[in-house]
Amino acid sequence: MPELPEVETVRRTLARLVVGKTIEGVTVRLSRIVQRPDDTAAFEAMLEGRTIREIGRRGKFLRIVLDGLVLVSHLRMEGRYGVYKADEPVEPHTHVVFSFTDGTELRYKDVRQFGTMHLFQPGEDLASPPLSKLGLEPLDEAFTFAAFRGAVAGKTTKVKPLLLNQEYIAGLGNIYVDEALHRAGIHPERPMQSLKRSELEALHSAIVATLKEAVDAGGSSIKSYVNGQGEMGMFQQQLSAYGREGRPCYTCGGPIVKTKVGGRGTHFCPHCQPIRRSRTR
């Protein structure tokens, strides 16, 4: 599933490609993609004649801001947006087509068919599910150490499942949680309440640094992720823990181990990320 860096990369790409374009018509080919309103004909009619003013993001969700409406889109497992000329062949698994007045189209393709679209009045989107349930935005200036500590400190939940919970921090997924924990030297099964202030500071810094580096690299092309122009991200070449089972840790040389934490495949270094905090560290 695309995580924050991948969605941010798609946002930046679409901002260059479709902002300022006016929708001439919308065709929904798979009704279950549209969650709100529940009538796809109404969805199509409401968007007709609207101009895209901004492409935003909240966690793993895209916010397509139009005249008088906001379209909230989640890519889920394999959703992709692409911009095409109207006369180009429509690829299989293309479920929603936004036709623009300039003869181009924004097409949403989703092999797994898990993606969702919600249409809201401006301001209503942030106050309603799914966005209203999201926690701190880790690339915002408001994501200070104090805010992070206030959200997670003292929780009895293991560190990794808590970081994956979107109600605490929005946008983190399996790849970047593993990477941030490895960078911070924290075992994924440590209870959050066991972390000392210095460890929380290290984790906060690791989350921000990992996400910023991933965004700069265009995300990680694990499995089938591509951005809105069909380009692959390159951060997978910089991964230190995720997907490196049995390979040497870049810090200590010991093998990266894979296990399951909270039902999710988890990669870490037992030496650099001990389960118990050493008194001498």
Closest of 135, 155, 165, 145 to residue 195, by C-alpha: 155
> Could you give phi then psi for residue 96, rounded to 5 degrees?
-140, 135
Q: What are 122-127's contacts with CB under 8 Å, separation 24+?
A: 122/65, 122/68, 122/69, 122/70, 124/70, 125/63, 125/70, 125/72, 126/58
Catalytic residue numbers read 2-3, 60, 264
- The structure tokens listed for 98 are 């936004």
Q: Which residues make beta-bridge pairs with 82? A: 107
Q: Would you say 189 and 158 are in contact if contact means Cβ atoms under 8 Å apart?
A: yes
- The structure tokens listed for 67 are 């005249």
